[in-house]
Structure 1
Amino acid sequence: MRTPDSIKYKVIKPEPALSDFVEGVWMLENTADTAHDIVVLPNGRFDIIFLILPNGPYHAAQMGLETEPSQASIPAKAILFAISFKLLAIEYLLDKKAASIVNTAVVLPNDFWGITTANLNSLENFYEKVSVKMISLIKPGIDSRKQKLFDLIYSSKGVLSVRELSEKVFWSSRQINRYFNEFFGISLKSYCNILRFEESLPYITAGKLFPELNFTDQNHFIKEVKKYSGVIPKELFRNKNDRFLLFHPMPKK
């Protein structure tokens, strides 16, 4: 499975000061003269996106977590610059709960973070501008339980149970779920399931259409893939019309 030649994608890994909050800073360009229809898949992150259309101003939006696949379209000759955030950023960088924007988005002002068209002429310029801004926004006094919780969730690729996570961070599952629902709009278990699905995508793109990440069995794997993509693993692999842009957030080492 490949990305269509008309779609250009590039990502920069965040510097260490932002590694707890940011997955990557990236750009995507549709170089074709026609729009490209896609299916947006849940990936366990939320994004701030700056969309540039030909001969027009840019538009900024904050995207909430996705819990289901959705239809979208990349306009002809459009360029997107974006930041993909880890969940800890909601409370300690953006200082704004995202529970109300699950499966939707909120429009941001055109002067958000002081971004101008001059910052959107290359990924490198965009990365430099937003990195300085994000570092300045990080709040002190991060709760060590939350930091450890997210370290475990990401390092385990979502396969640890709620009970295991709760015991490892000495924080009750009830309190963790209250925190998740209040700040992110979903439960911890739901989030881990989404993350595990997203982490399965590199295997599926490689043609490995069987469980790799602690799914109960093949039927469970197929059911989860269909829940979050709308199709079974085989169809996701075939990727008819290149509608699934299966970018993993960062290249595997």
Structure 2
Amino acid sequence: MPGEVLFSAEGPVAFITLSHPGKLNAMSRAMWRELRAAFERIQSNSEWRCVLVRGEDASFCAGGDISEYPEFRFEESALRDFHESDVWGGLAAMLDCDVPVVAQIEGACMGAGMEIASCCDIRIAGESTRFGAPIAKLGFPMAPREAQLVARAAGELTAREMLLEAAVLRAAEMKARGFLNRVTADKAVAAEALASAQRAAALSPQAARLNKQALRALAQGRQPHQPYRYADSGEHREGIAAFLEKRKPAF
């Protein structure tokens, strides 16, 4: 079966599910485009307050769909278009999303999986999950912006180890290196990721969006635009009033 990126929602939580049966959810070109479309849809709709990204059948993403590679990887302009349009288009849509993004990481998180996970705000993995980017075994490097993304999220030394040694690391090691927020028993990771998404979705959506915009600006070496413009907003007033009145805020 061809791979696809599935979209669903339960209340304020949107679910993005990577699905490529028989290939551990390896990303095809079409899946990269679908990932971009899904996140652009979420960004343009205030209905969803958190996104949970996961893979089907207890595997996050094993990398790219190598069976497609002979179609485009051996010609420079076609290879550039794949990385700069398809792949970066999907990753940029994730990075530009102002809604909190939680990663439910299970099984294999390799190559493209590392890149997708690196775009998420909160990363939760099962204890048997394996992480890496052993693409040097295939004779090619990670594209520059993708390498920068992984190095920023996982740390430069970890990125170098994955790319230069083809190292595959366990979840506990990735947690110790600061890539993961939490590691749970494999059978508990889905419930823990959902609970995290629900906690984020219950908070002020305005605060989440402004926090993400500010963090993105600071990471790019610039100051957030009008960081105090929320002063007279309804959510700001409601949050303060609810605290003073000792009740749950209605966001």
Q: Which fold has the larger relative contact order, with Cα–Cα distance below 8 Å and residues 6 or more apart in sequence?
A: 1
Scaled by the length of structure 2, what TM-score is found? 0.27
